[in-house]
Structure formats: C-alpha cells, structure tokens
Amino acid sequence: MTPLERAGLALLHRMDPERAHGLSLTALRAGLVPLPGAITSDRLATDLAGLALPNPVGLAAGYDKNAVALGPLARAGFGFVEVGAATPRPQPGNPRPRLFRLSEDRAAINRFGFNNEGMVAIGARLAARPEGAVVGLNLGANKDSADRAADFAAVLAHCGAHVDFATVNVSSPNTERLRDLQGRAALSALLAGVMAARSGLARPIPVFLKIAPDLSDAEIDEIAGVALEAGISGIVATNTTLARGELTSRHAGEAGGLSGAPLFARSTRVLARLSVATGGRLPLIGVGGIGSAEDAYAKIRAGARAVQLYTALVYGGLGLVAQIVQGLEGLLARDGFANVAEAVGTGRDEWV
C-alpha cells in the first residue's frame, strides 16, 4: 500500500462507515484511486460456468449496489465483478446506522436491507457497461413484495440482457424471512421461475445461487440437491453470518450480517461440505473472510473454482486485489499447479 493509499484509508476510517463507503465510490469514479488494469496469465485464467475469467478473484455484491462504478472496477484487477443486489422497485433499506466497522476483528456488520435504486436505473447503467469485463448482477426481492420469488425472475428478465451472470440472493439476513426461501419447496419454486426467465433471454446466462453460512449439513445437502435438479450454473458460498463467536469490537452485538475475517472458517466449511454434496457437478464460488492470497488459495483447495471478496478491501484498500491475485499465482506455481482448475478441491478433506 502506498503512503497516499494509506492516508486515504485512514481518512475514510475517521468517517461514518456508510458515508465512507459512498465517498470511496466517488473517489473511484473520479479517477483518484490507482488501478492496475487486468491481471492474468495462463495459470490464473479460469473457466467459471462457461465464463472466461482472466483470474479467479472477483468482487462480491454489495460494494457497488447501483452499478455506478463499473468502468473503474473493471480496471481494478478483479477477474469479475458482481453488482447489486437489485430489486424490482427502488427501496431505501433499513434505518441508519446500518453499517459498522469492527476494526479489531477485521470485520463488518451490516443490516442494509437491500437498499438500491431499483432494476430500471441499475439496468440502464448495466446497458452502458464497459466492454471486456465480466459483470454479474445480484438479484433481490422487495421487502414489501407480495411475491418475493417472482421478484427475482422480474429483475433477471429486465436486466439479464446486460450482464454475464446473475446470482439469486436468498441468503441475506437483513430482509425478514428471506432465508425461508432456502427450504426445499420454496427454493425449487423460486429457481423454476428464475430459470424460466433465463430461458426467455436472447442470450441465456449462468445463474448462481448464493447461500447462507448458518446451515446444517442436512440443509446444505438439501440445497445441493435442489440446485442440481433446477439446472442452475453454480453456488456461491457464502453470504454473511448471524453468528458472532469471539469478537472484541464494541459493535459485536449489533444486529445484522457479520462479514470479514471471523467468517472465514465457517464459510469455508460450508463450501467444502457443498463440494462433497455436489460431487463436483456444479462450480462453486468461495466467499467469506478472504483477506490474503493464502485465504483465496484455501477456498480454492476447499472446492471453489473462483472466489469473491469485499470486507477485506475496507482494511486493505483496492490495492489488495493485485496482491491477492499475484500471490495466488505464486502459490499455484509453488505447488506445481498449471492452472486454478488443477487445485480445486485438493484440500477439501481438511474442512469436512
């Protein structure tokens, strides 16, 4: 991290977290953040459900909720970028304060509640997205919707022509009873509707399912079965957790989803269990607590074909992306892997 980047992060950390989040997007759009451009090599290039990624390290949904910084993010070193979550209608989300830094724990707690400008505004920005970048959209449901399952299909139908993949997000803990949609009957019906919307697109795209880390082995196995039956393209493991564990920050008791370093082990165990349950038939994306190349490599060895990060950027800045990607290439080379695919699942037994 350069002295300028260090000073910028220090300034942001003196602000309210949500204000700092918005200011970081403004700085990115204004060209005030140094960006490395695409980072790739023969060893890093990865296929994810038919998507050709320059490297397997992506940006998780939640940072650019409204797709306002697609150009700069496409040059930040990520192999792919996911924006959103988008809902059919704009909604303000939950009352503030709703984002908390847990600096001592390298973590964050949020209870945003799908605040976003809605699929019409977000879809218009996605239609003008930069060429060459792999961009996906996280699909959400309005809090007051009479048919939340239909909301996911509606967002995909409206925005699907302008993205490379979509993620069905039934695992946010901040919309009341949303996680109930992870049950077999509800999830089967929801995914059937989403896949019907996908079939109506001129260019059918991969559809992923994002699950919670707070699931039993039986629930993970059930979700894996539903996903395979529905014909979706992959599973993202995982979203934030409602569990707390041993945290030291004064914000530890805040309601909402916990992300960052304390989530790493829990989410990686779910990922590995999911790898077993799917038997390698679905590509998996590992998310939760990644803050270093070693963390990303551990996710891949636990069964992930690609990974995503977000909270670690709060503490390491966007320069962390290049560090992780380049470090990952070194780890793959050290262990004799010619590409990412060769390493997938080789360390799964350490987690199940």
For residues 79-99, give the mean pLDDT: 98
Tell me the residue type at 36.
P
Residue 231 has pLDDT above 90, yes or no: yes
Which amino acid is it at 171?
S
Please name the helix (run of DSSP H) or strand (run of DSSP E) that holds residue 14, with its range, or none: none
Q: What is the mean pLDDT of residues 334-345?
A: 98
Catalytic, out of 145, 172, 267, 292 = 172
Residue 12's pLDDT is 92
CB 101 within 8 A of CB 14: no
User: Could you tell me if 303 and 309 are in contact, meaning their C-beta atoms sit under 8 angstroms apart?
Assistant: no
Residue 247 DSSP SS3: coil
Three-state DSSP class for 243? coil
Per-residue confidence (pLDDT) for residue 119, from 0 to 100: 98
Question: What's the mean pLDDT when you consider all of the chain?
Answer: 95
- Within 8 A by CB and 6+ apart from 179, the residues are 170, 171, 172, 173, 212
pLDDT at 292: 98
Is 172 known to be catalytic?
Answer: yes
3-state DSSP call for residue 183?
coil
Cα separation, 155 vs 153, in Å, equals: 6
Instruction: Check: CB of residue 37 under 8 Å from CB of residue 77.
Output: yes
Q: Is 146 exposed, middle or buried (0-12, 13-18, 19+ CB in 10 A)?
A: exposed
Q: How far apart are CA 310 and CA 60, in angstroms?
A: 6
pLDDT digits (tens, 9 = 90+) for 238-263: 999 999 999 999 999 999 999 999 99
pLDDT for the residue 303: 98
Give the pLDDT of residue 176: 60
252-298 pLDDT tens trace:
999 999 999 999 999 999 999 999 999 999 999 999 999 999 999 99
Read off φ and ψ for residue 220, nearest 5 degrees.
-65, -45
Considering only 5-19, 99-113, 187-201, 221-235, which range has the smallest mean pLDDT?
Answer: 5-19
**Residue among 62, 61, 123, 56 nearest 88 (CA):** 123
The β-bridge relationship of strands 57-59 and 306-309 is: parallel
Residue tagged 């942001």 (tokens): 12
- Please tell me the distance from the alpha carbon of residue 67 to that of residue 88, in angstroms, as a whole number: 15
Q: Does 174 have pLDDT greater than 80?
A: no
Asked if residue 177 has pLDDT above 90, the reply is no
Q: Is the pLDDT of residue 2 over 90?
A: no
* Three-state DSSP state, 109: strand
pLDDT tens by residue, 124-147: 999 999 999 999 999 999 999 999
pLDDT given for residue 260 in this prediction: 98
Confidence band, pLDDT 50/70/90 cuts, at residue 8: confident
Contacts of 13 (CB under 8 A, 6+ apart): 20, 101, 103
Give the separation between CA 119 and CA 84, rounded to whole angstroms. Answer: 9
The proportion of the chain whose per-residue pLDDT surpasses 90, expressed as a percent, equals: 91
186-197 pLDDT per residue, tens:
899 999 999 999
**pLDDT recorded at residue 341:** 98
